[in-house]
Structure 1
Amino acid sequence: MDARQRGITIRGTSAQISFTYQGVRCRESIPIPPTKTAQKELALKLQSIKYEIKTGTFDYNRHFPYSKKAKEFRKNRPDLYTIKEALISWLQRNQAKLQLSTLQDYNSAIYHHLIPTFGNLTISELTASKIKEWLSELPCSNKRKSNILTPLRQMFEELYLDEIIDKNPLSRVKNLPNKTREPEPFTQEEITKILNELTGQEKNLIQFAFYSGLRTSELIALRWQDVEIEQNRIFIKQAHVRGQLKVTKTKSGKREVILQPQAKEALFNQQIFTKKHNEIVFHDPQTNEPWKNDQPIRKNVWIPALKRAGIKYRNPYQTRHTFASTLLSRGEKPLWVAQQMGHKDWSMIIKVYGRWIPQI
């Protein structure tokens, strides 16, 4: 090797070449046989690299596919960096600060929807029209579509803020409007029929759901230490989401709920089953353990009770709608009802339950 060949150092059966790319001094080792021909080819390779850098056509990954630097530099090349690589990298950087349920949602969106659809495209190839076309054919609710797009939005926003891309295609894709399902509250007669089909802990659970307005995640996380029966109140401080206990997401979610007489009765009756443990209020009578999620409640308690009572099926969330509509129908103030429900203001109450508010 010509000692005057700058940027090349021979080390036995390998050589190290060095060059500057994007202001960074790069050194890469290449195995070569100890022949003059191989050394000449290496010199030509270095010349080619320098020419490509000068003309803006250099692809680090093509020359050094196993280099750590190649991966880093690809992030700065939206014409080379794939959406799959970008999403996985984004998730790895952010997963430590995400709640478990959010991380599970993002994993589902990324690995079941975004990567299979867009993963092989480079960052620069994704357009707003491609996203909109895909969304129009995606067989799920508008809310679910918006949730699936969330990690893609956040990843592209990072690239834009880091000045790796000049335009963010997601800024031209608006979240689709959520279609609010019309509440179908149960009548008092229907509630009575349903509760007549239940006994013990199952009856206490469903009765409390009807007359407290709690979300199922809050219901199965309620602790005796947060119950004050004599003072007619409970405190909502946590929720049970996907197998994990976590504090409520918002200040409004963490709240004091005034006990209606029927809710108080349900708690009073439930004491003989779980009060001695002084922990979670409602247990699954089949396991004698706290409910893990809403699935066994729906499958083993709710659906059979409605069938036996001959009541048209509505999902368990309608117990919450029943609670709200009942309070409003008897003249309770919308703001107070919103506070009992855990809403930050009463706009949702007006929007969803407006027809149950008496006209003055």
Structure 2
Amino acid sequence: MTFTYLGKRCRETHPQPSTKSGWKLLEQKLQTILFEISMGIFDYSKHFPNSKKGKMLLKSRADFYTIAEGLKDWFKRNESRYEKSTIQGYKSAIFYHLIPQFGLLAISDLTAIQVKEWLAGLKRLSNKRKNNILIPLRQLYEELYLDSFIEKNPLERIRNLPVSPREPEPFTRTEIEKILSQLEGQERNFFQFAFWSGLRTSELIALAWQDIDFENNRFYVRQAKVNGVLKGAKTKSGYRTITLQPEAKQALLNQFTYTGSLNEIVFHDSRKNQPWKGDQILRKTIWTPALKRSEVKYREPYQTRHTFASMLLSRGEEPMWVADQMGHKDWGMIRKTYGRWIPTHESQGGTALNG
């Protein structure tokens, strides 16, 4: 059978015997197809479910191309652009959230109110997580809109949900001592260094001995480990040189007896004598139990970074220097996040936490 559909010439076969009655049935089917096309109700997949031509044509129509197909195609097109950690996040969003919820809908059927109502029902997820889940869907619809596949983009009417920054709640000197007293060996070295270096957990578990410069009392941040994969810093300011504070230096000297001879990653999981694979297991097995035993109010490990910044600023360190130590491109973030720890009359000297 030969017919024209969506401006394309189509040729399809149909299993009919080569008899007079068979040719008559084939002619009747062709007339049915032509009638459905003229009425705008032709369903290619219904008549020819295994047709490659049909599948290609359906993908050119927003009312037949499903969101599930669109998301899978979008992921294939863009997978090579992203790092492994980002890919894992998008996979989770697409296959765990978006396709189960919207996958069967045609691209043209999605409305802004459907997405908003769905987001409102995700009670257990943070606004930041909800925003991240929408990224693949937003990018798919943006591509389809720019390619004139759809006439309007419903995602343009959905704003990202407000995200409150993590409020600094630094630990006091007394709390630090209590926490460290509940740790020993490599675990104590790890968190003592964390409190006095300002590194993110992903940077701590990726720190290598080759990046420690004891002679010049400094170390370099060049990489991070995310989802078990080592990668470079996200921004130019992320690559930085940090002054070794006395407590951080002592933690490294103590740690050298455990892993220094291996000439690789500084901090290891003592139970396996291997570098930490990620921050989740460290938080669950070491950090949380230590805070519980010390009876210190729970805060996430990231607060060790806030502690470092607040201690530097409270001692009168230059905010721009602190920003450099923290990996910020300027001191605007320091002023916004840690403003209450900046003395009215800032000290202009010193680069170490003494006492």
TM-score (normalizing by structure 2): 0.91
Equivalent residue, structure 2, for 1:60: 44
- 1:137-187: CA deviations, max 9, x gaps? 212111011001001001111111111101100001010110123211001
Match for residue 310 of structure 1?
Answer: 295
- Bigger drift between 17-26 and 329-338 goes to 17-26
String of CA shifts for 1:102-147, please: whole Å, max 9, x gaps.
1111111112211121122111111111111111221211101100
Counterpart of 1:169 in structure 2 is 154
Which of 28, 32, 35 pairs up with 2:19? 35
Structure 2 residue ranges without an equivalent (≥5): 346-355
Q: Name the aligned partner's letter for residue 122 of structure 2.
A: L
CA RMSD of aligned residues (A): 1.7
Secondary structure of 1:30's aligned partner: coil
Moved over 6 A (4+): none
Task: Please state how far the C-alpha of 1:54 moved relative to its aligned partner.
Answer: 4.7
Q: In the alignment, what sits opposite 1:182?
A: 167
- Partner residue in 2 for 1:10: none
User: 1:301 deviation in Å?
Assistant: 1.9
Report the counterpart of residue 58 of structure 2 in structure 1.
74
Q: Which amino acid aligns with 1:231?
A: N
Q: What is the aligned counterpart of 1:108 among 92, 95, 104?
A: 92
Alignment of 1:128-167 (within 5 A): 128-139=112-123, 140-167=125-152
1:284-303 equivalences in 2 (<5 Å): 284-303=269-288
For residue 103 of structure 2, the aligned residue among 119, 132, 137 is: 119
Deviates more, 1:230-239 or 1:215-224: 230-239
Corresponding residue for 2:351? Answer: none
Q: CA deviation at 1:224?
A: 0.9
Whole-angstrom CA distance in 1 between matches of 2:304 and 2:111: 43
Aligned residues: 344
Cα contact 1:201–1:282 (8 A) shared by 2: yes
Q: Which amino acid aligns with 2:265?
A: I
Q: Give TM-score scaled by structure 1 length.
A: 0.90
Cα deviation, residue 51, structure 1: 4.3
Are the equivalent residues in 2 in contact too, given 1:215–1:317 (CA < 8 A)?
A: yes
Tell whether the 8 Å contact from 1:235 to 1:257 is kept in structure 2 after alignment.
yes
2:199 maps to 214
Distance 1:301 1:165, change over 3 A: same
Residues 229 and 268, structure 1, Cα contact 8 Å, conserved in 2: no
**C-alpha distance in 2 between matches for 1:208 and 1:112:** 37
Matched residue SS, 1:80? coil
1:338 to 320, 323, 342: 323
Q: Deviations over 1:170-209 (max 9, x none)?
A: 0010101101232110011111222222222111100110
Q: CA deviation at 1:233?
A: 1.7
Shift of 1:18: 2.8
Q: Tell me the equivalent position of 1:348.
A: 333
1:41-71 deviations in Å (ceiling 9; x for gaps): 2223333434444554433222222112222
Please state if 1:359 is matched with 2:335. no
CA distance in 2, matches of 1:345, 1:39: 78
User: Among residues 89, 105, 109, which one is paired with 2:73 in the alignment?
Assistant: 89
Task: Choose from 179, 193, 211 the match for 1:226.
Answer: 211
CA distance in 2, matches of 1:181, 1:63: 56
Cα separation, 1, equivalents of 2:307 and 2:218:
19
Structure 2 partner of 1:328: 313
Report the identity percentage: 62
SS at match of 2:250: helix
| Aligned counterpart for 1:99 among listed residues 46, 71, 83 | 83
Which whole-Å CA distance do the structure 2 matches of 1:257 and 1:24 have between them? 64
